[in-house]
Structure 1
Amino acid sequence: MTQRDWVAAAIHKIEADFNRSADTHLIPLPLPAWPDIDAYLKDESSHPTGSLKHRLARSLFLYALANGWLREGSTVVEASSGSTAVSEAYFARLLGLPFIAVIPASTSPEKIAEIEFHGGRCHLVESACSINAESARLARETGGHFMDQFTYAERATDWRANNNIAESIFKQMAQEPHPVPAWIVCGPGTGGTSATLGRYVRYRQHDTRVLCADPESSVFFDYYRGAREGRADPSLARTGGSRIEGIGRPRVEPSFIAGCVDAMLQVPDALSLAGMRHVSAVLGRRVGGSTGTNFVGVLHAARAMHEAGQGGSIVSVLCDSGERYAHSYYNPEWYAHQGIDVAGADRAIAAAVAGAPLPPLPSCGPS
C-alpha cells in the first residue's frame, strides 16, 4: 500500500466512523427568574469519547492526514489536560497508530483510565506549563507526530460549515422561539471552539455574540482585556494549571483568537463548581467543571439581557460528564484540600438563578 493509499483509507475510516454517529442533543435549561430568556446546553458528552473534544480530535486527525503529516505506523503525541487525549486515543486506535498522551500529573484518574482504555499511553508531567515542550521532545525521539492541539485547533476545524458545533447549534435552534441566540457561551481551552463560533456567526451574518467564561487561574482573560485596549501581549503567562479541567491555560495559546470573542468573564473556581452542581441537579446527572464555568457565563449574560429589557436565547456547552471527576469535583475531601468554600458558592449560584446579581466578577466587552 502506498502512502497516498494509506491516507485515503485512514480518512475513509474516520468518515465512516462519523457516519455511524448521531448529532449531539440541544437541551433546554430552565431559567425561571427570566421567562423571556431561553437557555440551552449543547450536550457534547454524548460523543463516542464523551466530550466536546471528540470534534476537535477528528478535525486534527483529518488535518494531519490531509497535510501528509501522518504515516502508517506513526506514533501520535499530544499535549492535553485529558479530554482531547481520550478522543485522540480513540482515533489513533481506529487507524492502528500508537498514541502517547502528555498530561499534567493532576489529571483525573478517570481520564487516565479512559486514555488507556482506548489504547493510549500516558506520560505524566508535574507542570501544565511543560506539556507542549515534552510532547515535542517525545515526538522527535519516536520519529512520530506532535498533533499540537493548542496551535492547530483554530485552523483544523472548517468554521464555515462541515458539521462543526456552530452549524449544528443553529440547525437545532431553527424551530425554537428565538432561533438566533443573543449569546453563545463557551470556555476557552485551546481557543478552537470560540474561534469556530465567532467566525461562523460573522460569516453567516448573525447577530449572535460570543462570551468566553475563563477560570480564575487562566491567562486568557488578562490577554483578552489587553487586546481590547490595544496592548495584546502574547507572552503573558501564569504559573500552575487550571483546576477546571479542559479550560483555562497558563500561557496564551496560538489558537485563541481574541477578535473572534465579543466579551469575556473571569469566573472563580468556587462559582464554577457550584454552577456545575446546580446544572447536575437540574439535569439529574453529573456534569464536569467546565460546564459549571459556562453556566456562570449564562447567568451573567441572562442578567445583562434582563436589565436591558431584552428577551431571546442563550446557548452554551455541556462539555463532558461529571463521572470523569469522581475523585475531585464530586469528592468532599478534594474541596477541603483545595480550600474551596462550597456552601457560600452554592448560595451565590442559587441566588443568581433566582434573579439576584452574581458576585462582582471581572468582565470585559459588551454586557
Structure 2
Amino acid sequence: MPPDLDFQSCPTVQELPECLSRAWTRRAIDLLEAEGRRSADTHLISLDLPRLPGIAFYFKDESTHPTGSLKHRLARSLFLYAICNGEVREGSTIVEASSGSTAVSEAYYARLLGLPFVAVMPRTTSGEKIAAIRRYGGRCHLVDDPTTIYTEAARLACESGGHYLDQFTFAERATDWRGNNNIAESIFGQMSSEPNPVPRWLVMSAGTGGTSATLGRYIRYKNHNTRLCVVDVERSAFYDAYRTGDMNVTCSRPTRIEGVGRPRVEPSFLPRVIDHMIKVSDAASLAAMTVLSERLGRRIGGSTGTNFFGLCWIAAHMQAAGETGSLVTLICDSGERYASTYYNDAWLAEQGIDIRPYTAMLENFLEGGRFEVSVR
C-alpha cells in the first residue's frame, strides 16, 4: 500500500484554474447558436420553364440571409471553428482577406460578439460592400494588388495580436459537410417533396471552393445519384487546375465577378469531389444575371449569373440527350450590391463587356431554342 500523501503540504499541488476564457467562449457559442436559430432556412425557388419540358430549375436563395449572401453560412462556421479551436477569445481582433461578401457577414458576427474586425480587400471591391462592412462596425483595409490580400491579412492579425480567419484555407474544413443543416442537407431536404426529389445536377461557382467541397462530399456521403458541375470565370485558376491537375497554376489578373474565381488555387478547392467543370466568359455571366433578374423580378448578383449560365448549359446537354430531371443552383447574393458596376452600362463599356449576344442566346434557349454558344 502506498503511503498516505499530505496534499495540503505538497508544494507541487495547485488549485485548479477557473477557466475564465471558457466563460467567454460559452457566451459566444450561445450567441452564435441563438442567431442560427433566429435565421430561418433560405427559400428554394422553382422557375417555371414551359419550353423545357421535363427539366426543372431550382434556386436556393441565399440572398435572404441577414447579411444578404451565401457567405453568411460560411462566416458563422468560420467563427465557430476558430472559437472552438481556442484561436478567438474575448477582445480578439478578427481579420479577413475577402472580395467583399464574406467580410460583410464576418463584420456582422464580429459585432454580435463584440470583437473588432478588419477586412483586407482589393480596392476595386464594390462601394456597396465596403459601405455594408462599415455599417456593421468593421474597418476596410484596401490594397491595390489583389494578390497581396493574404499576406496583408496575416500581417495585420499578427501586429494586432488577433486572428486571421483565412476563409480560403478553412472554408472546406470549418463547415460540417455531413449535415448539421449545411447547405447541401438543406437543399436535399427541401427537394424531398418535388416531382424529381433527387437532382440530376447541382451547379455551383467556386470562390473559396468551400461550398463545392461541401456539396460534393455530401452527395457522396448520402450516396445520391447527383452530379456536381462547378462553373469557373475569366481570370481564375480553378478550371485550369481541374483540367490539368496542376494545383500551382495562377492567373495574373483579378476576377471581375466578385465572390467567384481566384488568381490562385485556394486550399479549400477540392477538384476530386467535382464531376464536371466548365469555364465561361464574364459577358456570359453578366448576361445570365440580367436574364434571370428579369424572370425573377428582382436583381441578383454576378456570381448567380455564373451559376445560371452553367445551369442552362447542363440543361441544354440533358435536352440533347433526351434526359429529364431537376437541376439546382444558388442565388448567392442580391444585385443591389452591384448597382454601380454590373448594372451600370458605363462600367460595362469601360470593361469592354458586351452582354447582348449572350442575352439573346439565353432568351432564345429558354423560349425553346437551341443553346448555340460553346464553353470550355
User: Common fold, TM-score beyond 0.5?
Assistant: yes
Q: CA deviation at 1:352?
A: 2.7
> 1:297-316 CA distances to partner (integer Å, 9 max, x unpaired)?
10111111111211100000
- The 1-side partners of 2:273 and 2:156 are apart by 33
The letter for the 1-side match of 2:227 is: R
Equivalent residue for 1:229?
A: none
The alignment status of 1:254 with 2:267, answered yes or no, reads: yes
The alignment status of 1:285 with 2:303, answered yes or no, reads: no
The alignment status of 1:265 with 2:278, answered yes or no, reads: yes
Q: How does 1:127-142 map to 2 (within 5 A)?
A: 127-142=145-160
Correspondence for 2:353 among 307, 315, 340: 340
The answer for unaligned runs of 5 or more in structure 1 is 227-231, 363-367
The letter for the 2-side match of 1:320 is: D
Residues 96 and 120 of structure 2 are in contact (CA less than 8 Å); yes or no, is this contact kept in structure 1? yes
Equivalent residue for 2:370?
A: 356
Between the two proteins, the alignment pairs up a number of residues equal to: 357
- The 2-side partners of 1:358 and 1:49 are apart by 37
Q: CA deviation at 1:29?
A: 1.6
Equivalent residue for 2:179?
A: 161
Runs of 4+ residues deviating >3 angstroms:
none
Correspondence for 1:71 among 72, 89, 94: 89
- The 2-side partners of 1:356 and 1:322 are apart by 28
Equivalent residue for 2:330?
A: 317
Residues 271 and 349 of structure 1 are in contact (CA less than 8 Å); yes or no, is this contact kept in structure 2? no
Equivalent residue for 2:20?
A: 2
- The 2-side partners of 1:359 and 1:266 are apart by 12
Q: CA deviation at 1:216?
A: 1.4
- The 2-side partners of 1:118 and 1:98 are apart by 10
Equivalent residue for 2:31?
A: 13
Equivalent residue for 1:299?
A: 312
Q: RMSD value over aligned CA atoms?
A: 0.9
- The 2-side partners of 1:31 and 1:224 are apart by 32
Correspondence for 1:218 among 236, 240, 256: 236
SS of the counterpart of 2:41? coil
- The 1-side partners of 2:198 and 2:286 are apart by 29
Q: How does 1:140-159 map to 2 (within 5 A)?
A: 140-159=158-177
The letter for the 1-side match of 2:73 is: R
SS of the counterpart of 2:249? coil
The alignment status of 1:275 with 2:288, answered yes or no, reads: yes
Q: CA deviation at 1:345?
A: 2.3
> 1:189-215 CA distances to partner (integer Å, 9 max, x unpaired)?
000000000000100000111111111
Q: CA deviation at 1:126?
A: 1.1
Equivalent residue for 1:328?
A: 341
Residues 53 and 83 of structure 1 are in contact (CA less than 8 Å); yes or no, is this contact kept in structure 2? yes
Residues 154 and 195 of structure 1 are in contact (CA less than 8 Å); yes or no, is this contact kept in structure 2? yes
Q: How does 1:40-55 map to 2 (within 5 A)?
A: 40-55=58-73
Q: CA deviation at 1:32?
A: 3.1
Q: Percent identity?
A: 60
Q: CA deviation at 1:289?
A: 0.3
Residues 181 and 208 of structure 1 are in contact (CA less than 8 Å); yes or no, is this contact kept in structure 2? yes
> 1:127-177 CA distances to partner (integer Å, 9 max, x unpaired)?
221111110011111111000000000000000000100000011001100
SS of the counterpart of 1:28? strand
- The 2-side partners of 1:359 and 1:251 are apart by 27
Q: How does 1:86-97 map to 2 (within 5 A)?
A: 86-97=104-115
The letter for the 1-side match of 2:300 is: V
- The 2-side partners of 1:217 and 1:361 are apart by 15
> 1:245-267 CA distances to partner (integer Å, 9 max, x unpaired)?
00000000000000111111101
Equivalent residue for 2:47?
A: 29
Residues 129 and 240 of structure 1 are in contact (CA less than 8 Å); yes or no, is this contact kept in structure 2? no
- The 1-side partners of 2:249 and 2:52 are apart by 38
Equivalent residue for 1:199?
A: 217
The letter for the 1-side match of 2:150 is: N
The alignment status of 1:183 with 2:201, answered yes or no, reads: yes
Correspondence for 2:126 among 108, 111, 125: 108
- The 2-side partners of 1:151 and 1:68 are apart by 17
SS of the counterpart of 2:45? strand
SS of the counterpart of 1:123? strand
Q: CA deviation at 1:30?
A: 2.7
- The 1-side partners of 2:89 and 2:358 are apart by 50
Q: CA, structure 1 residues 358+52, in 2 after alignment: closer, same or farther (shift >3 Å)?
A: farther
Residues 171 and 209 of structure 2 are in contact (CA less than 8 Å); yes or no, is this contact kept in structure 1? yes
Correspondence for 2:251 among 238, 259, 268: 238
Residues 82 and 112 of structure 1 are in contact (CA less than 8 Å); yes or no, is this contact kept in structure 2? yes
Residues 362 and 371 of structure 2 are in contact (CA less than 8 Å); yes or no, is this contact kept in structure 1? no
- The 1-side partners of 2:50 and 2:278 are apart by 23
Residues 241 and 248 of structure 2 are in contact (CA less than 8 Å); yes or no, is this contact kept in structure 1? no
Q: CA deviation at 1:286?
A: 0.3
Larger radius of gyration: 2
- The 2-side partners of 1:300 and 1:30 are apart by 17
SS of the counterpart of 2:278? strand
